[in-house]
Amino acid sequence: MHRTLGWAIVITAAVAFAAALLSHEAYQLKGAYLSSRPASDDDVAFQEAHQAKLCAALCQWFPDEMAKAFILGLACRPSVAITFRVEEVFLQTPGPGAGTKMV
């Protein structure tokens, strides 16, 4: 068990990470855990910049107040940065190919 920033994280040898785009294109990366550390100021700045871009995109479809509350209400602190070696990639875009192993 790894304790960082008041959170208890159970670390196993396996990590799964999902990434999705506004287009509904999505992937899942699976692999081996290598390390973790508290997120740096640069990591948090990257997260906040990504949130701002996502919020701007969502404001095209939703009222500003709704998009801002949904996206900008997510806390970037505390955060933990996890490093892992990608061993498998799966397509997770909705449709008949969802779940297909790509690599």
C-beta separation of 58 from 70 below 8 A: yes
Residue 96 to residues 23, 79, 89, 99, Cα–Cα distance (Å): 16, 35, 17, 9
pTM above 0.75, yes or no: no
Q: What is the pLDDT of residue 5?
A: 43
Same domain, 35 and 8: yes
Q: What is the pLDDT of residue 75?
A: 79
Which regions of the chain are under pLDDT 50?
1-8
Same domain, 9 and 59: no
Q: Which structural domain range is residue 28 located in?
A: 1-39+79-103
Amino acid letter, 45 = A
Same domain, 22 and 70: no
